Structure formats: C-alpha cells, structure tokens
Structure 1
Amino acid sequence: MINNILIVDGDRTMLQTLTGLLKCQGGFLDIHTATDNKMALEMVQTVQIRVVITTLRAEEPSRFELVTRLSREYPSIKVMVMTNNAQPLLRAKISRIPSVIHLDQTHDISMLTKRVFTELQIDYGGHLRGINLSTFLQMMELEGKTCTLQITSKDNVGYLWVQKGQLLAARENLSTGKDAALQIMSWKNVFIDIDYSPQTIKPEISIPLMMLIMESGQLDDEKNHTMKNSRVHRRYDLLIALDYNAKNVQRHCSLRDISLGGAYIETDQELNMDQTLTLTLTSPKLKSRCTIDGTVVRQDTHGVGISFKLRSLQQRQMIQAMISGSIKGDEKATPPQITGI
C-alpha cells in the first residue's frame, strides 16, 4: 500500500515543520506538499493521496473551501484539519464535514503522527498493528528471522520466540508451548512488539507453522460459534481512528471492534464505569457523520467496552456501514439486518 501524505499550508515555516515531523518517522510515509488550493487539487488528481493535512487560519479563508471539496469529491481521503484555538462556530462547521478530523494545533500536535499511522494502519518502529498474526509469522518464516515477539490483544499478553523463521516456544498466562501458541494465534487485532536482540530459549514446539495455523483456525471457528450463541450481537474486528467526547473534553482513540450493541475503544484517558461518552463515527460509504452515545461497561489496561444508546435509524445505518467495511472480503460473515427504531 502506498502511503502518500499531502500537507497543504501557505506558511512555508509550518509546511517545513510538519514535513520534517512526518519524514523522521522511519520512511513509512511519502510526503508531498502544496502551498495553495490549486496545487493541492492538482496533487490529489495525479497522486494516490491517502491523508491530507492542512491548517485553517483567518488569513486563508479559501482553505475551508478546499476541505469541503475534498470531502465531497474524494471521500476516501482522510483530511486532518489543524486550528489554533478555533472558535465554537468554526469547530461546529468542521464537525459537520464527513471524513474530516479536527486537531488543535496547541494541544494535539503531539497526536498528529500517531493519528496518521492509525488512519493508515501501518507499522512503525519495532511495533506492528493492524496485521494478522498468522500472516506475520509466515513472513518471519520466509525471511528466516530470529526474534522475540510480545503479542498484546486488549488485556491479554503473550510471548512467541522465533529462531531462523521457526516458532520454537510460547508463553501465555500459565500456558506454555503449543497450547500457548494456539491461544495467542487466535487473538484478533493484535499489537506486535518485536525484539531482535539474541535470546536463549529451550525449544518447546516442533510441529510446522502451517499445521499450527490450521489448528488455530479450527479453534477460532469453534470459539466464534460459541460466542455467536452466547452474545446478543456479534462483534466484528476493525481498526478505525475516531474522536469521542467525555465531560465536554474531545479526545482521540482507536476503535478496535464493533457490534450493533456496542464497541471497544483504545484510549489512554482514565474513564469510569457507567460514564457516558459521545463517539463521532464517520462512513466514507455513506458520506456522512453522526454521534452515538455509549456507556462504559468494561475496562482493561488498554481501553474500555462501550454499550451503545441508539436513538435513530441513522445511527444504526452508520454502525451497519462500519460493520460491512470490516467484513469486506469475508465470505463467512453475514452483516446483521437493520430494523427500524
């Protein structure tokens, strides 16, 4: 996947600052720049741009026109708008534009890089996210890598040891060896921390990786069947960056799974049980945005589980669109049917 980023700013100092900030992130991004609307539109017409970052200032009133046009004509492009202590009226106008993410230049500049990576679902540094663990292990096998992997999924943590591409050992809670490996390989939406430093580990697993993957798939099917029968709403895995409001404070987070009844979000903010959050959801498919209230019903070290309070058909349609996007290409999954409220 090509990760082309376009930065639009008439202030060349700010343009250089944002370009330098993103270019120093290990070469994962191809940075393009434009100083005005005309250059920006020519760029998106000729280059496969995935994210546009721009500032809104009083001295550049036409920039808002660029933002609205990009949202209307290129809904698949994420537009990140940066303002400096914007007035409530401008914030409200921005919030009504689909596919636009609002960042405050004073408070959220440190979140810019993380938000870009989350939107692109790419790897960075010694960490990986948004990649299937079985696929990653097959890559390690093909490349003959030696490393230690720390695997995190919500509140679960496990370890895998790979030597010259072969999976030799595993630890998960009190389990070791093959049992631990199968358990870890069944996790969804994992974070993978990679340590390439030399390790001495006693071999515990002798069967080929492909056999482990096949057995893990069978266990996963059994687990899904059990969960389907025990839950009111089926959950669907996905990785989407979004915003939420808690006690009139806007925060950024990552949504990791969703159902018609609720969702799980990753956030570093300390939240309380039964606290009400307002999530802002956007769908390029529907070309719309809406807010949904939810109550915190579960907590772990990485985030919280939210129970939705659905009040309109539009909210249900938004969730349906996000679910449909998460199961694209999965022939075994059937989207839930929407009924009126």
Structure 2
Amino acid sequence: MKNILIIGIDALSGEILSKALGEYDDFFQVLIAENDEKALEICSSIRPDLVIVDLSQPDKNILELLHHIKKSFPELPGIAITSAGNPMSGLKIEYPGITEYLNKPVDTKLLIDTVMKILEINRTGQIQDISLPSFLQMVEMEAKTCYLRVRQNRMVGYLYFQKGELIAARTGIRKNEEAAYEIIGWENANIEIFTSEQDQKKKIDSPLMNILIETLKRKDEKTSQKIKGQKTEKGKPELRLTKSSSPILHFGLEMGIRLHVKPENLAVTSKSTFIGMKPEEYLIIATPQSFDKFLEKPALEKQIIVKYLCNGIIFAFKSKILQSLPAPFDLLFLQYPQQVEQRYIRSLKRIKCFIPAKATCNDEETIGSILDINIRGCGCLLQALDAYDPLTWKIDEH
C-alpha cells in the first residue's frame, strides 16, 4: 500500500482531499501533517511514496521542509497545489521533485488521476498464477470492496465483494449463488479486479467457505458421473486421467498455507500466506505487515528464512526477495528455493483427504472439511463461530 503525505494545507482543503483519496484506501493511505514537526515525525517512521503540498500561500518554512524531505527521500515525487494564474516556475528549480501542479479549487477527479499516474497504479489489474478459490479467500481475508471479471474461453462471469463478503454474482444465464458455483468451478480462468464504484445489493447469503465447499462437491460429482458414463465397447469403464481438484503440492506448499517469514539477520518473525508460484523461477507470498522497513534495504540484504507446517512436517528454506508488488494487493516475489529442509513431528503419517463435515460447540453448528487423517486423529478446517470453547468441539457427521 502506498503512503501519501499532505503538508501545508488548511483544514477545509485537507478534509476535501482526504475524503476524495480515502475512497481508494485499497491502494494508498493518506497522512496529513498539521505542522512541520508532525511532517518530520511521519517521515521518520513511515516512508512516503508521494507528497502533496499547498503552495497557494508562499511560506518559507514549507520550502525548507520540502528540501529536508527531499534530502531524506531523493526519489520522492510531489504534487503542488497553487492559486490560479500563479506559474510557480521558480519552485520547479527549488524543488525538482514537484512534477505536477493543480490549481485551487482542486478538481478531485483530476487529483485522483494524477496520483494514480505518478504512483503507477492501475485501478484494474489482471491476476495470474493464482487459482480463483485462493484469490477469493485472499479478497475475504483483506476485507476488500471490489468486483472481479472472470473469463474462461468465451464465458464471462462477475463476482461482487463488499468488505470481503461475496454479495452477488452473475454470468450470461445464471445469477447469484448458482452463478458463483459456475464461475468458481472454471479451470484456468483469467481474473481481472476492479475497484467498486457503485452500490451492489446483497443477494448471496451463504458464506464464501460454504460456496467453495459446495463448488468442489459439484465438480467431484460431475467428474465421477463422467467417468461412470465412459464405457468401452466391451462394457468396461474406460480409464482416463482426470485433473485433481485438490491444490498442487510442491515440497509441502499449498495455496493459502500459513508461513512464518524472518529476515535472515533479525530475530523478528512475521506471518504471511502462500499465494502461488512459477516452478523453478519464483514464489508469491502476501507481504508481512512488519516488512515496510525491511523492504527499503538494498537487494543484497533482503535474505529471508521461510518456515511452515504441512501434514505433520515442518519445512524450512532460505530465499531472497526479488520484487515487491504493492497493488492491487501487497505481494512479495521470492527466489525459488534451491534446497528445502524437513522435520517430521508425527510418528504416524497422515493421509490427505477432503471430507465435508459438520461440528457442534455448545449447541452451535458449523461446517468444514477434514483435510488429513490417521488412526490417531485428523486435521479439520472449520468455519469459525463468534465464541467457543475448543475442548467441547466434536465431529457429528461427514
């Protein structure tokens, strides 16, 4: 996420700019400095990506502050707000970081377009190398308000999210839940994300997890029926390879698995999520929240250690950050690991499975799936309740 610092602006104008920019809080956050001390305090703790300064009233202190900020962040771009008719030509020499000039009263649409252009943010983006179910869970986790256009060959579908909740869906012939089942079931679909600028009424009541599980059940049933219907001339079923509906496993890494990421020379460990990969080239993970300062370091210093647990095995490998991608989601691209270490924590291996299940806690019921199992126990993924006592959980049926 980009950081925009606004300085030298009056309270009313600051409120107008903050409200206009706040509609795009998926892309950046706005920081308003009421005075020079506050601006320096913000710059000491957060690296700004853009500065917006009000130069409609000449102020020597503002120019000194700009020079100080420019000294700390030489590549920092700036937008100046000026009075109509004031050419401000001298300021281009005094503060070369200012590349755009907007007159008062500020046209907020022009301001947004200018900010997007400088920060190289596209309000739409194509998502690649990530499965649609994994991407939808990431939208839910990030509480995004947006809509997705999903394409498979000539078919097109739309999924609408409000603060991370799937509220509507449509294809050419289906709407809402039935449309969602169809869209999520598409293989190798192209995903485009758009910021939502219109109100969409809530037409889907089922949680996203329920819809994902139901979609998977329908795909498995459809595949099973197709295999049963494939008969040879002698009446025996024709055996064909079918694509598995389970995530592809690469040295224990699965879409959505939780990661523990630590800079190699620091003691602090941060949590992340595995998003996807291009085998033999790179991995994609969600950017840990505490990595802002670490990402400012030179490339040679961005060595990290990644650890995670899968099927009773602790995996660990060393890597380095190749690139950070702040929009439309904060993502890190990591070097593909050359070596992965493993340590077993169970004496008896669990078998991977996908069994729909229901569970109860204090007379409350939830649904989920059994993901792995052996004769001693199993691993379950359950839809969370508001409050529960973990000791009272039990599986009712599957």
- Report the TM-score when normalising by structure 2: 0.37
User: RCO greater where, 1 or 2, for CA within 8 Å and sep 6 or more?
Assistant: 1
Q: Which has the larger radius of gyration?
A: 2
- Report the TM-score when normalising by structure 1: 0.41
Q: Which has the higher helix share?
A: 1
